[in-house]
A and B are shown apart, each in its own frame.
Chain A
Amino acid sequence: MRRVIYFLLRALRNMRQSPFLCSAAISTVTVALVILAFFALIVINVQQLTRHWSRDVQVVAYFDHPPASPVLDRQLSRIRQYPEVESVAYISPRQAFKRFQVRLGDDADLLQGMANDFLPAALEVRLTEKYRNSAGVQRVVERLRRNKSFADLRYGQEWLERFEAFLGLLRTAGLVLGGFLLFAALFIVSNTIKLTLYARREELEVMALVGGTPAFIKAPFLLEGALQGALGGLFALLTSFLFFSMVLKEDLGRLLLASGLGKISFLPPHWQILIVLLGCLLGLFGSLFSLRKFVRI
């Protein structure tokens, strides 16, 4: 414990002795992580939006002619057992007719003179949350097809696929850009720490010559890197939160609200922890790399 405090004091002293390099390292980490946090923020909220939209994802299976009630019951209980299915509702031709009327509103008189059972009977199959995507829809559709009792299947798969592709693209772009940024930050941090090591080379050399073990010599620098990184992570979190509540919440919010999402949210707690942790690791590895090149004992 005394050791840890000693290392901490030495790390803090190092940081105080070169405030410029220290703040350079911290701001590098901050910038990289702010951009990353941003991507995460957008991806997470758009994902939220998909989840919201996909509540409407359902498969409608039309019967040739209205089924007899034992047949219907058998179908219902069978379909309910599919793992992808949340609920199944039977829509009789009459119910379908009423809905159609409601939907037509003022133009309902168009239906004047039509038999009230001219619409086909249907099953509306809602999917469980996990399967509310194109793959899930595909699975259910396949099962229903094998069922062979339905004349037609309707499912809004195309928009779902497009949207998923868009989301995937966003996520990939975030990952690629994020990876690149992290790598660049690692490079810069490792070089900044190399400069602090260079400023202290005299001390490092003497330390080794009077019996400092490699671990003892490195520990304060690793700690310094980790501290700076964590600090950078915290600043990144703070910056993106400020930006989120001042700008993003309004603008992105308006955009997303228009598409039906209730509210736009900041990064969830595990993402916040991840950002700080990422900063910490960035600093740690940055100093580890520079130490490997510098401290040759």
Chain B
Amino acid sequence: MIQVYNLNKSYQKDSSAVRDLTLKVAKGEFVYITGPSGAGKSTLLKLLFAAEKPSRGQILINGQNLTRMNGKKIALMRRRLGVVFQDFKLINSRSVFENVAFPLEIQGKKRYEVSNKVYQVLKLVGLEHKIKRYPLELSGGEQQRIAIARALVIDPLVLIADEPTGNLDPDNTCEVMELFKGANARGTTVLLATHDRDIIRRFPRRVLTLDQGRLVRDLTP
């Protein structure tokens, strides 16, 4: 599903956030990306959904070379990726419904299709009763689940999440992890960046460890 070859990314001239990274993730896999702060986890994920351009190397998603795409192609590729951002990136001036419906609206889906799907996904994350609220009226955990709902509403090929449990208490963490596991069970490939060893211990899966931008370990339990 994802192939990365000799990937390099440097924000500044003399330091690289990601160095010479080569890896493969098969369809349907659940993969953690871990490592200390500043290891390049976020950078790797940003490269995967083309929010950053690689300095060198190739990225193939579903057989398509991301590094050779123009703006429109990138947009079309992103429609098949569900991304959960570290800072949620919800639109505060829009209701929960509108936020979750946003990706479908952009794809030009029909109205009834959108509302059905949004309701379904909100039910999945257990927030269907907050459908008319606004993001700032919700707790951090709830906002996180809305962000996940927005990522899942398009039935993504790949779900990419950057520290999705970073700001959550243990109960919320558990719930969120169940959501990812559920999506993975339904066939979505999951990439999850975290520096939380606890989670990895409790939900063991393949772990890629980064350090100073290099892949230093690739363990499959």
Contacts and interface: CB of A to CB of B under 8 A. Distances in A.
Interface of A: 2-3, 6, 17, 202-203, 205-216, 297
B76 A202 contact: no
B79 to A, nearest CB: 4
B219 interface: no
Interface residues of B, number: 25
A213 B150 contact: no
A210 B79 contact: yes
A6 B109 CA distance: 12
Contacts of A6: 108
Given A213-B71, A214-B71, A214-B72, A207 B51 contact: no
Contacts of B93: 17, 202-203
B139 interface: no
B64 interface: no
B106 A210 contact: yes
A6 B103 CA distance: 15
A118 to B, nearest CB: 88
Contacts of A17: 93
Nearest to B72: A213
A143 to B, nearest CB: 64
Given A202-B91, A202-B92, A203-B93, A212 B108 contact: no
Contacts of B32: none
Most chain A CB within a 10 A radius of its CB, from B76, B77, B89: B89
A211 B79 contact: yes
Contact of A214 (B49, B75, B94): B75
Contacts, number: 56
Contacts of A211: 75-79, 103, 106-107
Nearest to B110: A2
27 contacts: A3-B108, A17-B93, A202-B89, A203-B93, A206-B89, A206-B90, A206-B102, A207-B102, A207-B106, A209-B49, A209-B78, A209-B83, A209-B89, A210-B78, A210-B79, A210-B83, A210-B103, A210-B150, A210-B154, A211-B78, A211-B106, A212-B75, A214-B72, A216-B106, A297-B71, A297-B74, A297-B75
Contacts of B108: 2-3, 6
A203 B92 CA distance: 9
Most chain B CB within a 10 A radius of its CB, from A17, A203, A206, A207: A206
Most chain B CB within a 10 A radius of its CB, from A207, A210, A213, A215: A210
Contacts of A202: 89, 91-93
Contact of A206 (B72, B75, B76, B91): B91
A3 B75 CA distance: 17
A42 to B, nearest CB: 47
B91 A213 contact: no
B75 A208 contact: yes
A196 to B, nearest CB: 13
Contacts of B92: 202
Interface in B84-143: 85, 89-94, 102-103, 106-108
Contacts of A212: 75, 106
A107 to B, nearest CB: 87
A17 B91 CA distance: 14
